[in-house]
Structure 1
Amino acid sequence: MRALPRWTVPAALAALALAAAAPASAAPAPASALPADAAGPVLTAGGAAVAAGDTLAAPLAAGTSATFYSTATSTTGVTCATSQYSAGVLTNPAAPGVATESLTGLTFDSCTANVTGVTSVESLTVDTLPYGVSVDDSTGLPVTLTGGSAGPIQATAVLDTWFGTITCTYQLSGAFTGTADNGGNSLTFSNEHFAKSGGSGLCPADGYFSAGYGPLTDTSRSGAPAVTVN
């Protein structure tokens, strides 16, 4: 075998020394230094972003009722076995943030009353729709409803009584707030206070509304996947 020229060995050692001294930037960047992926949206359904224009809907949570009681601690008033929440998505920004919706439907059926003198409930309706809805992905996942161009949030009960049919109208007193829960893909409202704004003198002065809706689903998507707040 032919011998290498005498200068080859020092030159090779010098090349190795230069390689060892190469700056750290030449090595792959650690994962923590790589660009982060873009944040996901506030609302997802089936793992995909909920699109503006989609319709979200939810019945009452299984085994629950919607109630409209005369005080925050009583069980006297109107109870409805069926209720349906429906809203259209307006905006769904990247999290953290606030998604907005337009509440287009909040219906009540199979309602009864345990108020002395009331024999049946003809109807319980929510008036002046649509309402604004905001869903915040901050701690507690707060949900807030606000009145729209048609007026403040208002509910009307038509009741059959010993003295004939009466109409009782109530408007929201203060903010209408609730919470979302990803465990059941639900929305919950508890003791939201309405004050009497019109109707018969036989109507109670106040109404406290409570209901839980879920699962909330995106009915514009195939299979109506459940909605999650991120």
Structure 2
Amino acid sequence: MNIFDRKINFDALLKFSHITPSTQQHLKKVYASFALCMFVAAAGAYVHVVTHFIQAGLLSALGSLGLMIWLMATPHSHETEQKRLGLLAGFAFLTGVGLGPALDLCIAINPSILPTAFLGTAMIFTCFTLSALYARRRSYLFLGGILMSAMSLMLLSSLGNLFFRSIWLFQANLYVGLVVMCGFVLFDTQLIIEKAESGDKDYIWHCVDLFLDFVTLFRKLMMILAMNEKDKKKEKK
């Protein structure tokens, strides 16, 4: 038998038999909202890069935090759906603006870092998302406690590094943080499925979880690539 004559059943690849049809429809809304967030965040980042507003990092962080709290406080219902989508778009826009200072730094070092970091983040996010979707239900939920403990340790080490100013500790936090965020993609994806199966259909708030995972992954990968590029330039001198 010629193995090259076999046909691949792409329909079977896209079937998630362990996920109910209603939850699959919910996930479609979540990822459609996620795509909207990515587009709006890219617009926000572009606005900063073009305008070079110096205080954008601080102001956008405060603004995005305020919008996220407002979104959290607004109940999920059919009547508030358009309002909450507007808040989500505003949150994504300001998050994109907040990436501006890091984008400026990478552009100054090597502009090719940005597309490399974005494509790398997209590949990582897609692979871990598919792993969570195809895996047995609740198989990655055990990661929750481990990931939160790792985040706490990273926070403590970051605070300690304000005094030690160790470049090695800073780099370790970036690499460990990258691994931790990959774990969060697995955990959050399966947690969204379980919430939807239990009747929680707030796709807008579920989108926020995945969007923050993607942005954090992108930021860390971007900084890692920027540091590596700076080291290469130092070696050439």
Q: Please indicate the TM-score interval, normalised by the length of the shorter structure.
A: under 0.3
- Normalized per residue, the structure richer in helix is 2
TM-score if structure 1 supplies the norm length?
A: 0.25
Larger Rg, first or second structure (1 or 2): 1
TM-score if structure 2 supplies the norm length?
A: 0.24
Larger relative contact order (C-alpha < 8 A, sep ≥ 6)? 2
- Normalized per residue, the structure richer in strand is 1
